[in-house]
Structure 1
C-alpha cells in the first residue's frame, strides 16, 4: 500500500460529520417527476442510502428495502420521516459484530428482541433438524423449521439478510441452546405487479428509460455518455439472462464489483481465491448443490489477482460455462446461474496489445483458449472512469430489490432473435460466437426494451455493441492461439438492403499497429466471405521510434556559458547543463520549454515538491504529467514518484488526498504510474530522472500568477511569472538518478 492509499484508508475510517443531519432534497428533474408519476411506491431517491447507512455494514439492497418501506415517495416530509424511521431501525436492530454481547444481553433481559443480521442454515442430519447461524450476533445451532427453510432455500448455501425475532429460553439440559427463532423474514420485496412495469415502460422514451436504469443502479446519467451507460447496464445482463458469462477487466476504482455486491439479492459476490468445486458446484461427500444451484449470478471478485488455481475447478467450470451442466461422480447436474469475472488490470491497453493480450492479468489456467471461448462478452473496463462523487445519482430510481425481481422474472424470456427481421450475421461467425452475440443482445433488449419491441436503429445499436463485446473475446483468443487464425470469423452484419457493415472495437481503431502486431499479413486477401484474413485485419505497421518532444511553446534561449549536450530524443530541443534565471512578470514560460526536453524518454522520474495541496498546485502537476503522457510512446509505461508534504488539517487533508487520487487515476489511464510519498522534511524542490538529469526547481512547480484571462487559463506561456526564481540543470551519474 502506498502512502496515498494508507492516508485514504485512514480517512475512510473517520465518521462523516453530516451523516445524521437532515438530508437536503435536490431539485427534481423532469425525469424524476415522471418516474414518481408512473412508479410511485417502488422508487427511492438514490442519495438516501448514504444518509441512512451510518456504520451499518450491510448491502445497499438491504437499506433500499427499508427505504422502500418508509420513503418510497417524492413527498419531502414523508421522506424525512422515513429516513428517521430507517435510522432508528438500524440503530435499534442492526447487529454490529463488536456489540454482539450487548445484543445478547438485551435478548436475555427482554426475553425477545428483533434483529437484522445475515443468517445461514445447515442440516443437522444427526438430529434431523435445520440449524441457523447468525453472522454478526455470533450464535449458532438455533433450530429453524423446515417450512421456513423451504421458502428461503438460499439460507442453505450462503448467508441471507433477514429480519428476525430471537427469543431467550434458558434450559439446564446439557448441550441445549437458549436461543430460539420466533420469526424470520428474508429481506426481499414480494407481490410485484409485472404488468404495471411493462405498461409504465411505454411512457418513457428509450433515452429516458436508459437514464431511469442508470439512476436505479445509483449512477448520475449526466456524467456518462451513451456508450458509458450501455457499459454500466451490461453488468446487469447476468441477472436477466440465464447462463450468461461475462468478464470485465480494467483499472481499479471503477466500481466493477459494486453492481454484484450491492444491487441484487439474487446475486452473490465471492473472492476469486475462495472458490472450490464443492462450494461452487456440488459437494461429493454430502451431495449438496453449490452456489450455481441457488443464485441468478455468481460473480468472482479480484479474479485476475488469483494466481493459484485448481485445474479440476477450471475443467468443471469450462464444461458448465459451455453446457449449463456439470458432472461430479456418476451424476450430471444442470443449473441456470450466470457467471461474472471481475479483475483489475495493471497495464494500459496499448501496453497489453503491444506485449501480450487483453487477458494478460488472468491466472494462467484461465488463459486457456477453450475456457476463454466460453465468455460471451468482454466489458472494456478501461473505458470506465474511476468513481467520483459527482458520478453518483441523487435522483430517483427503482428500489433495487424491486428491479432485481423484475429482472429475475425476465430470465424466462428469450429476445435473442429479435434482430433477425432487420439484420443477418456473417456466415463466418461460428456458433459459439453467435451465441455470445445473441445472449448479450437478448439481455440488453430485456433491460431497455422489455416488451421486445424496438425500432431498427435501436436494435442495430444493441447488436453492434453485442458484436463488439464478443469480438473482443475472440480476437484475444486468436492472439493467444495462432492455430485458430486459419479461418478467422469476420465480425460484420448485413442490413435488409444487403449492405455489409464491419464491427471494430475502439482499441482496434485506436491502436491498429498493435492490435494485430504478429498476425500473418500474407493471408490477407480481403475475402468478404470469411476465407483468409479479412481486409479490416490490417497488418501491423513497423514500430515507430520514441516520440520526439514537439513543443508548441516557443523555445527559451540557451544561457551564456551553458554546456550544450545531446538531446534525449530525436527532434528534441538542445539540452544544456547550467542555470536559467526567470523574472517576476515574465511570460512565454511553460513546462514544455522549461522542463519537458530534459524529461522526454525517461522511464522513471522523481518529483520533490512539498506544496502539492491546493487545486491550482494539483493542476500544475496534472499539466506536467499530461505532457509526459503525450510525448511518450502510448505502449510504454512511465513511473513517476511524487514526494510531498501531507496536509495536517483534517478539513484540507481530505481535499488534498482526493485531488491526488484523481490525478493518480487519470495518469494510470495513460500509462503513467504515479506513486505518492509523504516527507515532512522537504525544503528544496527538484526533479530527478533515470536519464541522469537533476533539475533544481527553485520555486517548484508553482511559478505563475493566477490566470486572469481565457488564454492564460488554457496555456501556461500566457501566464506571468509570480516571483523571480532560478532553475539549475545538472547531469548526474545514472546510478544516482
Structure 2
C-alpha cells in the first residue's frame, strides 16, 4: 500500500508520498488526474486539451486553489469552447463583438485557385477562412487533419469585404517549451518504482491496482511516442483502453479508424504532391484494425516498405519519415482457442495476414493481459500534465538507448536482424521511459531486456505458424558470466501444450515439440495419492493454474485446529483471501465436524477508517463461516513477521507472501470468472514450504 501523508477530509483524495514528491520536484507540471473528468462536462475535447487548461490553474496540491482553478477552467470552456449545436450562436457573438476567442479543432488546406491557405473549424462550421502562410509554416500539422487551437476570430461587417471571417491569432494547445536538464535531474530524485508509478498515474491509472507486469504493459503503449519508427501491434478483448493513449495523451499522435487508411492520406497524394500523416506526426495509430474487411493491397505494400526502410516514394523521390505506427484491434476468441486452432494474429484483415508484413512488427502487446477498464482502475493521484510528458518523450526520440544492455548482456547469435531490431527498439523505448537518466541497475536492465525479447518473440512465434518456411529462433540472452537464459512468452508458460504447434490443425496440423523445447509453468502441487508434497514450491510471477484448493487443502484435510499467522490481513482483498481459504476448508471437511481456526495478524493503524474496516471485515467473516462449521478467532500481534499455517495433524506450511499470492485485478463484470476461479488469477512470485512433523 502507498504511504499516506495527509487526509484532510474524507471526501478528498488521500495525498500520498508520491503525490507530494511529484509536486515538489515538478512544481506546476503535475496535476490531479481525476480533475479532467470534473471539468470535461459535455466538451468533446481530448484529455491533453483539458490538461493544458488545468495546468494553467490547477497544477498544485492546495485544495482551495484547485477548486478555484476548476471553476476558471469551466468558465473558459463555457465561454470559448464551441459546441456544434451552438455554432450559429457563437458566430453571432463574434459578429456582435467584432472579435471573440474560440477553442476548436482547426484544419488547413491550400486553395490553389486563390493561391492562399484557408482554415476550416470543426465545430464552428466555418470553412475557407484565410490564414497567413507564416502561421501555417510555424504549425505544419494544421495541414494534416487538424489541431486543437485557441483562436481569436474577427468579423468584418459591411459589403466591401470578400472575406468576412479573419483569424487574428492562433495558438495550438500544447506546451511552449521543455527543459530537458530539469526533467532528467528531477527523475534522479525518484526510485524506479516511484517513477513507474508516476508514469502510470500520468496515463490515468491507479498503480496500486496493477501488477509490476501490468504497469509495464501500460508503458509499452507509450514507446511509439519516445522511439522513432517503432511498429507496435496490440490485439485483445474490447474495453481495455487500447486507443485511449493515442487519442487523449499527446498532441503529437494521430488516431484514425482502420477503415480510413489510404495511401494518399497516410503517405503522399501524387495528384498534388502533398505528404500524408507519416510526414508530420510522431505516432499514427490505426483503431479498429482487426476484423474481416477489404484492404487495398497497394497500401499494404507501401506500408511494408515504410515499416522496413523508414521511407516512402513520391514519384521518383524517396522521402524519409520517422512516424511510429500502431495497430490496435479486438480479438474475438480466448487465447487458448486461438493457439489451438490458428494463431494470435487471426483477427487481422486478410491483406495484413502476411508473414512479410508481420515480420516488420517490433512488438506484440498481449491485450488479453491488460485489465478491462472500469472506474476502480482510475487514479485520483497526481501525474504529469500529459502535454509536458509528451514533450519529454518527443525530446528523447532523438536519443538511442538500444545498446544500454551490452555491457552486461548479449542477445542470441541465432536471431535475425529484424528480430534483433525489434528487441533493441523495445528495450530502448522502455529505457527512455523509465531510466532516461541512464542510471539503471544490472537487474533493472535485465528485466526490461527480457520483456523486450518476449514482445518480439510473440511476433516471430506466430509468424512461424503462418509461414513454416521461416527458420525457428531460440530467443534469449547470455549474461556477463556467459550463462544462457531462455525467454518465453506468457502464453507459452500458461499453455505449453497448445503453444508449441508449428501450425494450426486446420492448415495441416503440427507436431508437438520435444519436452525441452521451452520452459513451462511449474505444476501446482500433486494432490492425487496418499503422499503429500513436502519441501519448497516456487510459484513464478504472473502464472495461472494455482489455487488454495490445490496448494493448502490436501495438507489441511483432517485437521481440527488450524493456526494462520499472516501480519497482512488488512486490505479488502486480503480479507477476501482469508474468507476464500476458510470456504475451501468448509468444503473439504465432513459436514458434521467443527474446525477451530485461529488467525494472528497485525492491526491496521495508518487510518482510523481502515482500522475500522479491518475489524468489521474480520467480524463479518467470523459470522459467515460459523454457519459452515468454522470457529474463527483472531488476535492482533505486531511482533509477528513469519507467515505460516500450522495444524494439529503435524503440518507446518511456511508462506513467503502469506495468503496474498495473487496479483490485484479489477473485475470488469460481476460475472468475471476470476471471482469464482482462483486458478484463473495471475500469481505473485513467492515460495511455499511444506514441513511434516
Q: Which residue of 1 aligns with 2:483?
A: 499
Whole-angstrom CA distance in 1 between matches of 2:668 and 2:188: 42
SS at match of 1:416: coil
Whole-angstrom CA distance in 2 between matches of 1:182 and 1:266: 25
Alpha-carbon distance change, 669 to 378 in structure 1, aligned in 2, over 3 angstroms = farther
Matches within 5 A, 1:564-575: none
Matches within 5 A, 1:68-467: 68-172=55-159, 176-305=162-291, 307-467=293-453
**Bigger mean CA offset, 139-148 vs 163-172:** 163-172
Whole-angstrom CA distance in 2 between matches of 1:668 and 1:25: 30
**1:273 Cα deviation (Å)?**
0.2
Alpha-carbon distance change, 346 to 521 in structure 1, aligned in 2, over 3 angstroms = closer
Alpha-carbon distance change, 504 to 203 in structure 1, aligned in 2, over 3 angstroms = same
SS at match of 1:253: coil
Q: Which residue of 1 aligns with 2:624?
A: none
Residues 270, 314 of structure 2: 8 Å contact kept: yes
Residues 296, 338 of structure 1: 8 Å contact kept: yes
**1:589 Cα deviation (Å)?**
10
**1:178 Cα deviation (Å)?**
1.5
Whole-angstrom CA distance in 1 between matches of 2:119 and 2:303: 30
**1:535 Cα deviation (Å)?**
2.8
TM-score between both structures, scaled by the size of structure 2: 0.73
**1:251 Cα deviation (Å)?**
0.4
Q: Which residue of 2 aligns with 1:663?
A: 670
Whole-angstrom CA distance in 2 between matches of 1:306 and 1:105: 47
**1:452 Cα deviation (Å)?**
2.0
Whole-angstrom CA distance in 2 between matches of 1:382 and 1:435: 25
Alpha-carbon distance change, 215 to 523 in structure 1, aligned in 2, over 3 angstroms = closer
Residues 348, 669 of structure 1: 8 Å contact kept: no
Whole-angstrom CA distance in 2 between matches of 1:281 and 1:24: 51
Whole-angstrom CA distance in 1 between matches of 2:268 and 2:135: 23
**1:154 Cα deviation (Å)?**
0.2
**1:660 Cα deviation (Å)?**
10
Q: Aligned residue pairs: how many?
A: 526
Alpha-carbon distance change, 498 to 41 in structure 1, aligned in 2, over 3 angstroms = same
Deviation digits for residues 377-398 of structure 1 (CA, Å, limit 9, x no counterpart): 0000000111111111100010
SS at match of 1:139: coil
Whole-angstrom CA distance in 2 between matches of 1:537 and 1:511: 11
Alpha-carbon distance change, 324 to 660 in structure 1, aligned in 2, over 3 angstroms = closer
**1:24 Cα deviation (Å)?**
5.0
Alpha-carbon distance change, 149 to 132 in structure 1, aligned in 2, over 3 angstroms = same
Structure 1 runs of 4+ aligned residues shifted over 4 Å read: 518-526, 664-670
Q: Which residue of 2 aligns with 1:654?
A: none
Residues 373, 477 of structure 1: 8 Å contact kept: yes
Whole-angstrom CA distance in 2 between matches of 1:589 and 1:524: 40
**1:661 Cα deviation (Å)?**
6.3
Alpha-carbon distance change, 666 to 49 in structure 1, aligned in 2, over 3 angstroms = farther
**Bigger mean CA offset, 405-414 vs 162-171:** 162-171
Residues 501, 512 of structure 2: 8 Å contact kept: no
Alpha-carbon distance change, 121 to 365 in structure 1, aligned in 2, over 3 angstroms = same
Q: Which residue of 1 aligns with 2:689?
A: none
Residues 516, 537 of structure 1: 8 Å contact kept: no
Deviation digits for residues 103-149 of structure 1 (CA, Å, limit 9, x no counterpart): 11111111111100000001112212111100000001111111111
RMSD, aligned α-carbons: 2.5
Whole-angstrom CA distance in 1 between matches of 2:310 and 2:676: 37
**1:665 Cα deviation (Å)?**
6.1
Alpha-carbon distance change, 661 to 466 in structure 1, aligned in 2, over 3 angstroms = closer
Q: Which residue of 2 aligns with 1:646?
A: none
Is 2:474 aligned against 1:490?
Answer: yes
Whole-angstrom CA distance in 2 between matches of 1:155 and 1:463: 38
SS at match of 2:39: helix
Q: Which residue of 2 aligns with 1:676?
A: none
Q: Which residue of 2 aligns with 1:45?
A: 32
**1:329 Cα deviation (Å)?**
2.5
SS at match of 1:304: coil
Whole-angstrom CA distance in 2 between matches of 1:668 and 1:309: 41
Deviation digits for residues 416-440 of structure 1 (CA, Å, limit 9, x no counterpart): 0000100011110111000000000
Residues 450, 487 of structure 2: 8 Å contact kept: yes
TM-score between both structures, scaled by the size of structure 1: 0.69
Alpha-carbon distance change, 507 to 523 in structure 1, aligned in 2, over 3 angstroms = closer
Alpha-carbon distance change, 482 to 668 in structure 1, aligned in 2, over 3 angstroms = farther
Whole-angstrom CA distance in 1 between matches of 2:153 and 2:672: 47
Deviation digits for residues 638-695 of structure 1 (CA, Å, limit 9, x no counterpart): xxxxxxxxxxxxxxxxxxxxx996135658999xxxxxxxxxxxxxxxxxxxxxxxxx
Whole-angstrom CA distance in 2 between matches of 1:663 and 1:323: 48
SS at match of 2:119: strand
Whole-angstrom CA distance in 1 between matches of 2:668 and 2:389: 33
**Bigger mean CA offset, 187-196 vs 134-143:** 187-196
SS at match of 1:298: strand
**1:521 Cα deviation (Å)?**
8.2
Is 2:492 aligned against 1:508?
Answer: yes
**1:453 Cα deviation (Å)?**
2.5
Whole-angstrom CA distance in 2 between matches of 1:321 and 1:403: 26
Deviation digits for residues 200-256 of structure 1 (CA, Å, limit 9, x no counterpart): 001000000000100111111001000000000000000000000000000000011
**1:307 Cα deviation (Å)?**
1.2
Whole-angstrom CA distance in 2 between matches of 1:287 and 1:394: 47
Whole-angstrom CA distance in 2 between matches of 1:258 and 1:320: 25
Residues 70, 85 of structure 1: 8 Å contact kept: yes
Q: Which residue of 1 aligns with 2:576?
A: none
Q: Which residue of 1 aligns with 2:517?
A: 535
**1:536 Cα deviation (Å)?**
2.2
Whole-angstrom CA distance in 1 between matches of 2:250 and 2:88: 31
Whole-angstrom CA distance in 2 between matches of 1:537 and 1:390: 35
Matches within 5 A, 1:12-27: 25-27=12-14
Structure 2 unmatched runs, 5+: 1-8, 504-508, 521-548, 554-585, 589-665, 678-693
Whole-angstrom CA distance in 2 between matches of 1:254 and 1:666: 17
**1:537 Cα deviation (Å)?**
8.2
SS at match of 2:670: helix
SS at match of 2:45: coil
Q: Which residue of 2 aligns with 1:468?
A: 454
Deviation digits for residues 326-375 of structure 1 (CA, Å, limit 9, x no counterpart): 12432211100000000001100000000110001000110100000000
SS at match of 2:254: strand
